[in-house]
A and B are shown apart, each in its own frame.
Chain A
Amino acid sequence: MTTKTIKPWLFLMPALIIYLTVIFIPALYTMYLSLFSWNGVSSSKVFVGLNNYSDLFMHDTVFAKALKNNLVWMIGSLTLMVGSGLALALLLNKKLKGRIIFRGVFYFPYVLSGIVVATGWAWLYNPTQGFVNKLLTMLGLEHWTQAWLADPKTALYAVFIAAMWQGIGQPMVLFLAGLQTIPQDPYEAALIDGAKSHQSFWYITLPLLRETFLIVIATTLIGSMKVYDIIYGMTGGGPAESTQVLSTWMVSQTFKFANIGTGSAIAAVLVLICMIVIIPYVYYTTKKSHV
């Protein structure tokens, strides 16, 4: 090997070694561990093939619940969060006094940690002294008040609203950036042709935001599969496991119940779902960069 062929590797080496050590090899090893029954302490792992997976899908009702919750979270994020993000971006995409302040207000929760948001919102939902129930009482809607986070029927949605408060700024900012790349000319041409504003929106704005939609949808899908901090911080997966998602259930199985094999199988399912979502996206991004 000449120095010319070695040099690129030297520059890549630190990143590559750390990436392999911290992410890639551990992820592969997790797949391997998912084929064993192991408590993490004993020296002998028992090979069980795909039994951990079949147990998850056939017998583990919490796993089914977690999978369903991830799906609910994903649909909620794709519709409500992306939709409101786009709506806010459209509202703010005009010359407007105080535009930067409004943008700042809607975006700032995004820079907070999930744990801070979880702690703050758990207090807002407090059954006796929290803001939500006090406000409802003040408005004469006392019969609506309830223990939002302690009731399995409402807990997931209550956490989701907190997550929306935190996360809406991200799609908003991405859409704003996308909107700013759209030139004025097509709108003027459409106006001259007598197009209504909703027609301009459907036939000019949306198609030209295609790239932005791709990014927003990809990050939203991955984000809703990875969601962990805010759920852990607000409910810890409860009450009665009603807010478990794959990531929290994986951590419980692994670090609380010491079922390493089962936890690893959940992680593998999580990886698989993320791959299905993102491989087309990575393919598209790298292919585009050849041009």
Chain B
Amino acid sequence: MGEIRIHPAINVLRYAILIILAAIFLIPVLFIAFTALKSKGDLMTSPFYALPNPFHWENFSKAWNQGNMGLYMKNTLIICLVKVPLGILIEALAAYSLTRMVFKWNNLLFAFFLVGMMIPMQATLVPLNMFLNKTHLVSTYPGIFLIYIGFGIPFGILILRGFFRTIPKEIDESAVIDGCGEMGKFLRIILPLSMPAVATLVIFDFMATWNEFLLAQIFITKDTMRTITTGLMAFKGEHSADYTLMNAGVLISILPSLIVYLLFQKYFVSGLAGSVKG
């Protein structure tokens, strides 16, 4: 018995469809890469499908310098490096309380946090702006950290609570016998056991923060604090006619996401699958 056999002809057809579709998915990226590697003159004269000849690698260094890409990447990285670990710690503490502590409000509070997932950011922008102005936190890192962490809380709690619930309660009980307090249980047992979920969340959170645009657009008014997305928009505005540089800029800003994705591909898939079971 075992596997249901598939007719070889159907398998060939399946491959043909997949290869055509994959090509359709990759062609936009190739076209962007070709553009980024051509000189302005070649772009006008050579056919669109022609390989760049010669390769104009200097477009990348020009885009990097003229677009302040290094600065914007540094700014975005600072936000990610604080927001992601701090946010996850805060979410994990809450998820621990929601799953491990005897407490009659557990489910109600969980539902209350989930409500946050259906509130679009747009519905908070004006009051948040007033709040940041009043507290002089506009265009400051503490203000940005606060807001980014806030919007990560509902999703983070959803994922971590889902995982914490799968850890058997007997493990906690034995820890209590060994004299662990709640904090000890959280730090020494639940958190280490939850590393798969935490890893997934780190990666998702990193990508979401790296790619975030609306909050950065509204709350970061200082040019030198721009993130990679708002920086790319500004670059596009200034170089709207220079397609070679613009596409080089696009590729540069893709690179970190692509590296993270290739390194941690399995977490993207297993992480999503985990949230399905939730």
Contacts and interface: CB of A to CB of B under 8 A. Distances in A.
Interface of A: 4, 7-9, 11-12, 14-16, 18-19, 21-27, 29-30, 33, 40, 88, 91-92, 94-96, 100, 102-109, 111-116, 119-121, 123-124, 126, 129, 131, 134-135, 138, 165, 170, 173-174, 176-178, 180, 184, 187-188, 191, 211-212, 215, 222, 225-226, 228-229, 232-233, 246-247, 250-251, 254-255, 260, 263-264, 266-268, 270-271, 274-275, 277-279, 282, 285-286, 289-290
**Chain B interface category by residue count:** 35 or more
A94 B32 CA distance: 32
- 3 closest A-B pairs by CB: A22-B150, A177-B273, A113-B211
B250 A21 contact: no
B257 interface: yes
Interface of B: 1, 3-4, 6, 14-15, 17-18, 21-22, 25-29, 31-32, 35, 43-44, 48-49, 90-91, 93-94, 96-98, 101-103, 107, 109-111, 113-128, 131, 146-147, 149-151, 153-154, 157, 165, 182, 186, 207, 210-214, 218, 228-229, 232-233, 236, 243, 246-247, 249-250, 253-254, 257-258, 260-261, 265, 268-269, 272-273, 275-276, 278
Given A119-B236, A134-B48, A22 B31 contact: no
A105 B153 contact: no
B94 A105 contact: no
Contacts, number: 265
Q: In this complex, which of A123, A254, A278 has the most chain B Cβ atoms within 10 angstroms of its Cβ?
A: A123
A266 to B, nearest CB: 8
A33 B232 contact: no
The prevalent SS among residues of B at the interface is helix
Given A19-B116, A177-B272, A12 B98 contact: yes
A16 B214 CA distance: 23
A15 B17 CA distance: 47
Contact of B107 (A29, A264, A290): A290
